[in-house]
Chain A
Amino acid sequence: MQISSSRQGSTNTFFLLVGGAVVLLIVLTLLLAGLNRRGRTALTGASDVESGGLFFYCAAGMQPPIEKIVAEYGDQYDIPVRVQYGGSATLLSQLEVSGTGDVYLAADDGYTDLAYEKGLVEERIPVASMCPVIAVQKGNPKGIRSIQDLLRKDVRVALGNPDQAAIGKKTRKLLEDAGCWEAIEEHVTKKGVFKPTVPEVANDVKLGSVDAGIVWNATAAQYAELEAVRTEELDRGAAQITIAVLQRSKTPTAALKFARFLAARDRGLEYFAETGYEPVDGDVWEETPEITFFAGSVNRRALEPIIKRFQEREGVIVNTVYNGCGILTAQMRTLRENQDSGFPDVYMACDVYYLETVQDLFREGVNVSNTDIVIVTQAGNPKGIKSLEDLAKPGMRVAVGQPDQCTIGVLSRRLLESEGLSEKIRPNIVTETATSALLVPQVTTGAADAVLAYATDTLAESEKLQVVPIDSPLAAAIQPFSIARSSDFKYLGERLFATIERSPDAFTSAGFKWRLSSTVTEGSKGKGSVESEEETGDPEQP
């Protein structure tokens, strides 16, 4: 079979080849697109879990912004969201009892924290904050200017019920702190009224059935007929509106997607802003966000299952870039904090050293795990190595990581220098490897008698090796997790961190030691900003 035809009217090979190439390219592109789609569904789990709509427990005072958000979401994504309004506490008991529902928005994070502790909710996303004020009719006819004024005989007051509405609970707390709760409670019971939701309090003031009520500043702003009076005591009571995804939701990914929409700075939060709330600096909205995760290669085994779970649950895509940390930091420096160009949203380094070199680009890191640096030698310890000093014995062949090229190199050098052994061991060093992965093979192949390597590297071939621990606080690499300052998905990053926090097994089975607190059921962890280093327990202990 020839390409140039022997028939009359032979074809021009050029066109044949070009045509063939084009056809092949089209076929290949289609194959790639198909592969991409299949990969995507494998990444994010079943793609369309969103039939049937969502059920939303929502604190009553939020109705104005929520109505608009739900309408827009329903229009855009054709998913009906049924909303049940009520007092934050009332809703909480309802959802506890009913066992159905997808999302819960409370007027204060105290409720969502409680729900989390009870195991009723999974993810919590901050939305906005607000502050209690005294609402009076426009013009303040009775001249109410302080809490004391509320106790006047001629002033009828409405308050939210502390057992039903967030405003009620908050008011009680603030007034308790101010020392006048009992007086007020008595006053309101006799001459005023407790209402189950904050709009009802506001309405009462508006209608004139009471003279004043304590409501949220945002609520007051929604009523043209009302005026807000701020007081020192009330100003101390800022509340964090938080939306939470229910544990028992049958469509958690869909619920999360809606929650993200609501908490997105260019979607839901805009409605909150325009109705008088103070929104947080939420994530940017994307239907299927893609975030970039730079991680040192050593972390891969531990991170892979965590990332997979995270992607499936959140319906997001995490682009992972693994490499030696030196290269990763070089990449970061050239990308100049432009997430579009590929600068990471989150970063887990092989050691804090490599976070310090780019610390200005990231929020403060949280130490997740550590892996010990140990001496590795052949099984049976033929050279009788007991400590670092033994590496300086004449005739000992030692291999270490190259200090400029890999984390283990930097840390080994630091360790040896701290023990004063750097110069003594130097004549014994037969090679400096470019990555940690190449160290253990030096021992298994007999090219070196001992190496300074990560304990995790010895797992795969433990039968052939003997591990000699090193007694020094510097004999460990500590892996920190941090979020980029420039990321548009900081809250998503924090939820990724929360997933990591809940997965100590992934790390321990990969040979790492866990550093985060082992009891993660306390309410305050896993939400809010990851600002400070959280290291509990003795770092030396596993």
Chain B
Amino acid sequence: MAAVRGLPEAPPIVLDTRPAARPKRGHGPGGRPVGLSILLWVGVVAFTLLSVFPYLVMLSTTFKSGQELAGPAHWIPDHFDLDGIARTLSDPSIWGYFKNSFYIAAGTTLVVLLAGIPAAYVLARHEFRGRKLFLDLVLITQMFSPVVLLIPLFRLYKEVGLLGSMEGVIIAGSAFTLPFSIWLLTGFFRAIPVEIEEAARIDGYGRFGILVRVILPLSIPGLVATGMYAFIIGWNEFIFAVTFLTANPANQPVSVGVFASIGKWDIDWQRLMFMAILGTAPVLAVFAAIQKQLDRGFASIASGR
């Protein structure tokens, strides 16, 4: 991988000149001075605390009864109260929220993959008139915020009957997820050696045959990663859902359900935080699973391909 333009690729032998006994740590060879070690650990602790703070708040609050929450703030619950969890799980409307979140996330994944795979494939492998124009247009969509499109989309959806439906949220959310997904997929498709494709072509496969029988089987990890990325975005969808589904609470996902309940007078924070945990846990698991593939995607961006 020629990572940096203008730099000659170093011969691989260079690596062998390093003394074998020295542990390889960090960027350069050699150990780390004590001062830097301290700095490193200060950084590690600080970033960890900032990252986990909201999750600790969720956990801590989930186990505190309303009475305890009304008292002075503290982190460790006095007596771990499980009533909030029971109240949440016994409420049938909670499952509705989850079903909706899942439907929207799965729908977004499907639409993004169906639209993204063919586009990424021709963009990765073929030269055609308008290719650069398409890429530029895709780049420009990245400037858009969902907010600036809400009013025209609202009107359009009312006209075509998508207002209040989860499909409307899926369509809008997919369009915003598509550009980065195409980018990711293009990187994964490019990583497949052209020679394999050439061989398939000589065997008589057309473009569609090559895509389905050669490219897709070879890029399953990439497809899974992109699909999961779309799933996470769909699961976390908020702004379209809160706008288009206001009039139809039966179709609202978890994020909107939680938000809707903080507008009320008497907020049951204990129950709300457990809902937030339930609404966060699945995507965190998915995200942990695709970290490596996303890293590869970022690396390909970093190397300027």
The judgment on whether A and B are partners is no
* Residues of A participating in the B interface, judged by any CB pair closer than 8 Å: none
* Residues of B participating in the A interface, judged by any CB pair closer than 8 Å: none
